[in-house]
Structure 1
Amino acid sequence: MTSTIRNKTLPISFALLACLGLAATAQAQSFDAYRNYGAKVNEDGGTLGLAALSVSKYRGAQDGKLWVVPILDYRWANGFFAGVRNGLGYDFSRSEETQYGLRLTADLGRKESDDNHLRGMGDIKIRPEIGGFYNLALSPSLQLTSSLRYGAGEQQKGLLLDLGVSYHMALTRQWVLGMGAGLSVANSDYMQEFFGVSTAQSLTSAYAATQAKGGVRDVRANVLLNYYLSPTSGISFGLSAGQLMGDAKNSPLTQKSSTMSGLLAYSQQF
């Protein structure tokens, strides 16, 4: 029984661990990595569930808010996938050890009404992102992830490189501990859109004009405890800590450079 549960629920471990990536941001979707949720290579399958996230109102905000978001991801045997955490795309690899491909995701932008400290900054609209990904499993429990995304911001020139590592281990037949870490590197167009202040914005806000250069946007670490109700379903409890870096940390919009977020989620394979 122990072997059966561990073998069938390893995809859920990575799936629920990925949910915690959502809690590290003020957005309901970060798309920081592609992960195969529930489906084995050359088989159809997906994951369905619901997650409650305690997050910051925006990156750098002092105050937080509660998000309740759906979990829905599906992968077809031919390599195509679609979902709220992976976006739309194609995995060329056909391998359990590596995944590489192309995908379309979205940056959800930021609304001026999200927080009083954004007053006069204007909205950053939702924008489509194009990009690719490459993942490498060093062992059944240890995985490296990377993702490149382009198109964020009002000028649609924002570029992000996301790098991460995740690890999980079975504590008992039903309890699995997951851990992860990651960082995001942004170009100057992205950093200026989200952390800089233009001359026009300085006239309508309380901030002086500020230039934000490209570099490491933030680093993240998380821990997740999964309890499996069956070989294909489970409940997840997690915490995530994040730290803004460089010009993101020093931005006049940043009230608090460090964050602590929480997650409660239910996930079911189908």
Structure 2
Amino acid sequence: MRAIIPAALSATLLAALVPLSASADDNADTLHGFIGGGLGVKPAYSGAKDNKLSFVPALKVEYGSFFIGGVDTLTAAGWKFYDTDRWQLSLGVGSDLFPREESDDDHLKGMGDISVTPRAFVSGTYKNGFFTGGAILTQDIGGNDQGFRFTTYAHAQWQATDDLRLFAGPSVSWADSDYMQTQYGVSSAQSSRSGLQRYDAGSGLEQVGLELGADYQITRSWMVGFRTFASHLEDHASDSPVVEDADQLRYALFLAWKF
């Protein structure tokens, strides 16, 4: 559920460049969206060789220009400050509520847990009948040195029937050294506790991936969806001693109620 700028500066620049009059929402202020969930299979952590089965939430609730839902890896609340038939620009704050924990895998013993931290985001999306593309920039604002991450994606989509929508396309993510060190680095203290070699993860390309998905409208109020995402960790991420397998595969099946 890809719901995907450094945050404060980029948000300010985007807001200044977009005419505020163009951001008016012609829709009535009604509560709408979808809520549901399903099951997903994903690596135990980014770079793990073993997978785990877990509950996958499906959530997006909108009221006027405000929304709650998934944004990249975050569960977030945001504001659509520019919204047209083709373009949507948003900003807000959220968090990865389930970051990596030492208990996720035996390979992480001695590495400690990654803290939950608030992240500001700015996102931009362009869409038409055949294509959706966008970019999401997130920045740690909790003082936990978890840095900046940029994700961009492009999806070709096909309305196969009135009820069935298919899409597929690539994505790329880049991160600064703070983010990469948190996710893939090994400090001296972590090295002494875990036995893994000390490793400094610099900024650079984190991963490239390909996502495929399908949404089927069962009734007016119920939909079922499937997502699969294959990715390859790159550069400083793939070279990390934390990483056991640079090739990662995730997939999920979910049911959601639309209102």
Q: What TM-score, normalized by structure 2, do the two folds share?
A: 0.83
Of stretches 146-155 and 46-55 in structure 1, the one that deviates more from structure 2 is: 146-155
Match of 2:209 in 1: 220
Letter in 1 for 2:38: A
| CA offset digits 1:187-244 (Å, max 9, x no partner) | 0011111111111111111112111111111111111122221244321223221110
Q: How does 1:193-208 map to 2 (within 5 A)?
A: 193-208=182-197
Provide the secondary structure at the position in 1 that maps to 2:162.
coil
What is the aligned-residue RMSD (CA, Å)?
2.1
CA distance in 2, matches of 1:173, 1:56: 34
- Look up the equivalent residue of 2:122 and give its one-letter code: G
Give the length in aligned residue pairs. 234
Instruction: Spell out the pairing of 1:1-270 with structure 2 (5 A cutoff).
Output: 19=1, 21=2, 32=4, 42-43=27-28, 44=30, 45-77=32-64, 79-85=65-71, 87-107=76-96, 108-137=98-127, 139-151=128-140, 155-270=144-259
Deviation (angstroms), 1:84: 4.7
- Residue aligning to 1:24: none
Check whether the contact 1:41–1:96 (CA below 8 A) recurs between aligned residues. Answer: no
Pairwise CA distance, 1:71: 1.7
What are the ranges of 5 or more consecutive residues in structure 1 without an aligned counterpart?
1-18, 22-30, 34-39
Output the TM-score relative to the length of structure 1: 0.80
* Inter-partner Cα distance in structure 2 for 1:99 and 1:112: 38
Residues 178 and 231 of structure 1: is their aligned pair in 2 closer, same or farther, counting only changes over 3 Å?
Answer: farther
Equivalent pair of 2:66/2:80 in contact (CA under 8 Å) = yes
SS in 2 for 1:200: helix
Unpaired segments of 5 or more residues in structure 2? 6-24
Contact 2:117 2:141 in 1 (8 A): yes
Q: Is the 8 A contact 1:109 1:152 kept in 2?
A: no
Q: 1:105 aligns to what SS in structure 2?
A: strand
